[in-house]
Amino acid sequence: MLDINRVLKEDRLLRAFTGLNRKAFEELSVAFEIVLNTLRDR
C-alpha cells in the first residue's frame, strides 16, 4: 500500500504516482489551493 507521506517525500514516487515532477506538482497544488479557497469562501 502506498503511503502518501512517502510519495510526497520521494521525487521518484511522486513522478510515478502523479506523472509530474516536483516543480509541476507544487505549481498545480498552489492552483488547486486557490480554487478551493475561492469556492469555500462563497
This prediction has a pTM of 0.79
Instruction: Let me know: does 22 contact 11? Beta carbons within 8 Å.
Output: yes
pLDDT of residue 34: 97
Per DSSP, helices labelled H in 1-42 are 4-9, 11-18, 22-40
d(CA 36, CA 41): 9
The whole-number pLDDT of residue 2 equals 83
Q: Which three cell numbers stand for residue 31?
A: 492552483
User: Where are the chain's structural domains?
Assistant: 4-40
**pLDDT one-digit tens code per residue, 1-42:** 889 999 999 999 999 999 999 999 999 999 999 999 999 999
Q: Residues 20, 23, 33, 9: what is their CA dihedral angle, to the nearest 10 degrees?
A: 80
